[in-house]
Structure 1
């Protein structure tokens, strides 16, 4: 089997730009790109929100939303970041995944991340995001990353601790991703560890 890049689909659940969630998503994707050969498609809820809210079923979605859904469904690695809205992800974030084919993500690795005002909401990863993707029978990677308000300045990561957590999450994810997709090219300075 010939080596090839990994198809990463990065989904930002924020309803505003710029956002801390987008900054965290960008940092995770950048770190992944340092370890693996990847191609990345970015999907932002801010772009989809106007048509997403009025799409009651898959048969009623417009072309932009259909393209985004197909990208999610064909991901080899899904990276998902959501801000905390009233102790959970937003209704529009959930609605986006309500429109994803129920079987499309079976076996797909998913790296989970979130941002919130304080540490009190860090369990969004375990109590909301992990169960959502478990429903799809996706492979939620064991470690997620959560960033708080104080980790960011002007919508950029300003905390060494958050940068280290991003590095650790990706470092732990790479062997599992390589196990699922052994054909994916790893960067030369990071030899395969599986």
Structure 2
């Protein structure tokens, strides 16, 4: 099972990247898998060299191939201009519209006020509906006050992460079996991030 985290923030350090990392850590705890991560703070300049998929260079193609080859996506974005970031939109503009059919997706976002959390339902979820992906019911949203020095410190948000990951495994019967047996199986390690 290829698990991929995507942080749509174009800043480092990033609270969004931390949320994505925390979700991936929860998945790793259940499965023993190490997930790959694409950080758009690094990857966006590569992707912006192409306006269409047929213009991607080798480095850009590797990034898009990684997205298209994932079985599970954990996608996070800061709320920016009432939506996800333009860099994240550009990445998904380059993904083949058939590539994510039936893939499972966990959605996460960070924002300035609790009201910005509506972006997850009104902007983010429809994006993956277009691709035919299956988003888990529970989304993860956090504001600046939920962090201490870019580390998540709100137990309520941590509980939402655990609930979303549990729902993910409800949608992945084969993965759930693997999670139950991961102590007997050798640890599987996925590829390192391919953003350079």
TM-score (norm 2): 0.88
Residue number in structure 2 paired with 1:84: 79
- 2:65 is aligned to 70
1:37 and 1:185 in contact (8 A); partners too: no
Q: Can you list the C-alpha shifts for 1:22-71, whole angstroms capped at 9, x where unaligned? A: 11011100011111232411101111122222311112112222111001
Is 1:155 the counterpart of 2:150 in the alignment?
yes
Q: Cα distance, 1:185 vs. partner?
A: 1.2
Partner of 1:49: 44
Match of 2:21 among 19, 22, 26: 26
CA distance in 2, matches of 1:152, 1:41: 23
Out of 110, 115, 124, the position equivalent to 2:110 is 115
Structure 2 portions without partners, runs of 5+: 184-196
SS in 2 for 1:11: strand
- The CA distance in 2 between the partners of 1:31 and 1:43, in whole Å, is 18
Q: Number of paired residues?
A: 183
| Cα pair distance change 1:183/1:156, threshold 3 Å | closer
Runs of 5+ consecutive residues of structure 1 not aligned to the other structure: 1-5
Pair 76,189 (structure 1): closer, same or farther in 2 beyond 3 Å: closer
2:30 is aligned, of 7, 20, 35, to: 35
Aligned to 1:3: none
Bigger fraction of residues in helix: 2
Could you tell me the TM-score, scaled by structure 1's length?
Answer: 0.88
What is the aligned counterpart of 1:172 among 167, 170, 173?
A: 167
2:124 to 126, 129, 139: 129
CA-to-aligned-CA distance 1:61-109 (integer Å, 9 cap, x gap): 1222211100110111011011111111111110100000110000001
Residues 14/182 of structure 1: CA separation in 2 closer, same or farther (3 Å cut): closer
Verify the 8 A CA contact 1:34 1:187 in the aligned structure 2.
no
